[in-house]
């Protein structure tokens, strides 16, 4: 949330109220209560990950499996496959490449004009995370296009026929003799592979987790910016330039676009990573301000205010509706596209 025109500096910075490096700043009841809120968020997130993530699953490593799915299950092809069968994976690849380039340019230009101080802000942390998402997504989509090309060319992809991967397989009719034996072998082979899909590897799960972290973080960032920061700036006669506006609009547009096109699942328990992302940012700010006398990037992070505990609690609660709105958007996508394209829609609901 930087680069505001109308300021005598390139970036608008909140006024420094007190020296954050003194012991009296940190050893008081306000910091204690805020630390309790942060600790509760951290424990809540850790519990969800421990209970639902499935790190103890021995088959979670990229191998073929026909086992019962868990809340955190993900298959390799879901990272690059569009939600409709008639859409070529190259379209999703093109979208991700364009999004990656645009976001990288936007982040680079903003850093050029404002300097490294932009990374004090949660906005730039989130924008960087989304840029990484689309960069990794582009690589996975490239791999997916290669797999798709092999599949439509008649080659077996990871020991699974293209038709079997979609849940159907067709065996040519037999006419006796060698042809009958050959058909029987094909049928047996397809029946063994039917229902078996390659589970995602480490990068597939990292990609999905980044997607879900970004989903909550981008809505939290934009809500705080447009409903809290902008009214404050307007009161103080600060203007907004095109970089700031783009930083708080393009990110959510690209992420929603990818959510509509992709086949990724959206398990609710991964709100835990969203909490961890924000907790990491808060702890980073605390450590930084404990050793460096510096302004706070957001006034509500300032622990000298008697309202600090209320602010920290409110922002923690905002994670739930922000993540929930994106989850409802995914459910709306499932409901509409499965109704409009019942024979083509292939996302897991």
Tokens of 56: 């103890």
Biggest CA pair distance of the chain:
91
Tell me the residue range of the domain where 224 lies. Answer: 33-57+73-158+198-340
Residue 89, Cβ density class (10 Å: 0-12 exposed, 13-18 middle, ≥19 buried): buried
Query: For residue 302, is it within any domain?
Result: yes
Note the pLDDT of residue 230.
74
Q: Per residue in 38-52, pLDDT tens?
A: 999 999 999 999 998
Residue 75, SS3? strand
197 pairs with which residues across the strands?
65
pLDDT tens over the chain, length 349 residues: 443 333 333 445 666 678 899 999 999 999 999 999 999 999 999 999 999 886 655 455 555 554 567 777 889 999 999 999 888 999 999 999 999 999 999 999 988 887 888 888 999 999 999 999 999 999 999 999 998 888 777 655 444 444 444 444 444 444 444 444 444 443 444 334 444 678 888 999 999 999 999 999 999 998 888 887 777 666 565 666 777 778 888 999 999 999 999 999 999 999 999 999 999 999 999 999 999 998 898 888 999 989 999 999 999 999 999 999 999 999 999 999 999 998 889 887 6
CA 82 distance to own-chain centroid: 17
In this predicted structure, what is the pLDDT of residue 284? 96
11: in domain? no
Other beta carbons within 10 angstroms of residue 267's beta carbon come to 17
Beta-bridged to residue 84, according to DSSP, are: 345
**Cβ–Cβ < 8 Å for 301, 29:** no
Q: What is the pLDDT of residue 59?
A: 52
Structure tokens at 252: 């959510």
Q: What is the pLDDT of residue 9?
A: 39
Task: Report the domain count for the chain.
Answer: 1
Tokens encoding 138? 């582009």
State how far Cα 41 lies from the chain centre. Answer: 19
Closest listed residue to residue 92, CA positions, set 211, 347, 263: 263
Q: Is residue 62 part of a domain?
A: no
CA distance linking residue 283 with residue 262, whole number of Å: 33
Q: What is the structure's pLDDT at 118?
A: 85
What backbone torsions phi and psi does residue 157 show, to the nearest 5 degrees? -105, 115
Domain contains 346: no
277 in a structural domain: yes
């Amino acid at each position: 949330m930087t680069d505001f025109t109308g300021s005598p500096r390139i970036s608008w910075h909140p006024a420094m109220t007190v020296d954050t490096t003194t012991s009296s700043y940190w050893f008081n009841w306000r910091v204690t209560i805020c630390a309790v809120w942060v600790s509760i968020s951290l424990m809540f997130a850790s519990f969800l990950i421990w209970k639902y993530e499935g790190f103890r699953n021995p088959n979670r490593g990229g191998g073929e499996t026909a086992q019962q799915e868990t809340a955190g299950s993900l298959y390799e092809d879901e990272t690059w496959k569009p939600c409709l069968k008639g859409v070529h994976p190259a379209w999703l690849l093109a979208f991700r490449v364009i999004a990656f380039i645009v976001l990288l340019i936007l982040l680079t230009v903003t850093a050029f004009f404002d300097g490294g101080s932009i990374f004090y802000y949660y906005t730039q942390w989130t924008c960087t995370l989304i840029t990484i998402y689309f960069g990794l997504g582009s690589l996975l989509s490239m791999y997916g296009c290669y797999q798709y090309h092999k599949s439509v060319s008649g080659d077996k992809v990871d020991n699974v026929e293209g038709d079997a991967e979609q849940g159907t397989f067709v065996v040519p009719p037999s006419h006796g003799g060698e042809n009958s034996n050959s058909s029987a072998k094909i049928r047996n082979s397809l029946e063994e592979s039917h229902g078996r899909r390659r589970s995602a590897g480490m990068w597939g799960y990292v990609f999905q987790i980044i997607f879900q972290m970004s989903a909550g973080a981008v809505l939290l960032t934009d809500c705080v910016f447009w409903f809290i920061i902008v009214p404050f700036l307007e009161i103080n006669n600060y203007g907004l330039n095109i970089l700031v506006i783009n930083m708080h609009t393009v990110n959510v547009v690209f992420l929603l676009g990818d959510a509509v096109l992709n086949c990724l699942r959206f398990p609710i328990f991964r709100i835990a990573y969203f909490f961890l992302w924000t907790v990491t940012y808060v702890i980073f700010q605390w450590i930084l301000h404990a050793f460096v006398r510096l302004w706070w990037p957001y006034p509500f992070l300032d622990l000298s205010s008697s309202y600090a505990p209320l602010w920290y609690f409110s922002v923690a609660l905002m994670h739930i509706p922000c993540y929930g709105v994106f989850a409802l958007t995914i459910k709306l996508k499932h409901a509409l596209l499965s109704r409009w394209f019942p024979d083509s829609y292939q996302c897991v609901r």
